[in-house]
A = this chain, B = another copy of it.
Amino acid sequence: MPEEVIIALDAMGGDHGPKVVIPGAEIALQRHPGARFRLYGDAAAIDAVLASHPRVAAVSQVIHSDVVVRMDDKPSQALRRGRWRSSMWLALDAVKNGEAHVAVSAGNTGALMAMARFNLRTLANIDRPAIAAIWPTLRGESIVLDVGATIGADARQLVDFAVMGEAMARALFGLERPTVGLLNIGVEEVKGLEDVRTAHQLLRDSNLPIDYQGFVEGDDLGRGSVDVVVTEGFAGNIALKTAEGTAQQIGQYLKDAMNRTALARLGYLLASGAFKALKEKMDPRRSNGGVFLGLNGIVIKSHGGADAEGFASAVGLGYEMVRNGLLEKIVADLGDYHKERRSMVSPQANSVAS
């Protein structure tokens, strides 16, 4: 009998709502029979889809909500209109109230983060949450954070990201000592990098059991040089989108090349198994799901345009994070780190300690 994990689903989130969320839940349920769902949203719309997904219906509870956060709502609008009552808010609320272990939404990122901060609050000693992305690499997968929760993290916040990302790598990849790197650019002695350099010193000199490998650059991301790459959210988001764009671009080049001549098309047919494997490797659905870290609860953001397969990945990610005790690991590690930080600061500088 698998252990039950209760997953709160914002059934109205994303470009397709219940028509993707529920088939996605079905795929996730096949992979993780211990999953149980709480479905938040328009009950009539949800029930209509559930009718053809009896296996999901059997493990789900539907909680009606009239209010949907739109994909183009600004965070402030979403909070104004959707607080207390939207499907997104209620899914987060279930995590807060202990009715669910994790919330998954394909709704808009800014609104979901604003609501998650407002409702779940950040963990003790954490000012800024981060969004962690799972990045396919030549060595397997890495975790990259922050990919856009906030902008301009300072040195201590970057160290917090390192601690949280390292805990996630242990939970997700089952590694005992994941390696951690700090994203930087190659040129030394450039002004303006104070926060990145200070974070580098803090990580290098800390007594935390983190396997810190130093600076990495943009091309280390695809190489998988480290298991966890730490950066502030502006650069992280641009890196993520740039990689997605480049993959699409090369996919298009490849498609064009294989359609150029009859011989190329024949070659393509013969090698179709290889192309299929390549396509699977490059499939963005496999690594769909950003994890919000630094909150009192686990929240997974699926791509808004994800199909059922993609949404199932996000749901499966939430399931794994709960089963592997992500939140407990993060809370324990942050506790250790902030204890160390206080002990490092207080003896010599009372004015800095608070």
Contacts and interface: CB of A to CB of B under 8 A. Distances in A.
Interface of A: 74-76, 109-110, 113, 137-138, 148, 150-152, 183, 185-193, 217-223, 231, 233-235, 237-250, 252-254, 257-258, 260-261, 263-264, 266-275, 277-278, 281-282
B219 A241 contact: yes
Given A192-B234, A277-B257, A148 B244 contact: no
B271 A74 contact: no
Given A148-B185, A261-B273, A263-B271, 18 more contacts: A75-B187, A75-B188, A109-B186, A148-B190, A150-B191, A151-B191, A151-B192, A151-B193, A185-B234, A218-B242, A222-B248, A238-B238, A250-B250, A257-B271, A264-B270, A266-B267, A267-B270, A268-B271
Nearest to A238: B218
Contacts of A267: 266-272, 274
A137 B248 CA distance: 11
A250 B282 contact: yes
A233 to B, nearest CB: 7
Given A243-B242, A257-B278, A152 B222 contact: no
Nearest to A260: B274
B235 A223 contact: no
Contacts of A137: 249
A65 to B, nearest CB: 24
Minimum-distance CB pairs A-B, first 5: A218-B241, A267-B271, A151-B192, A219-B245, A267-B270
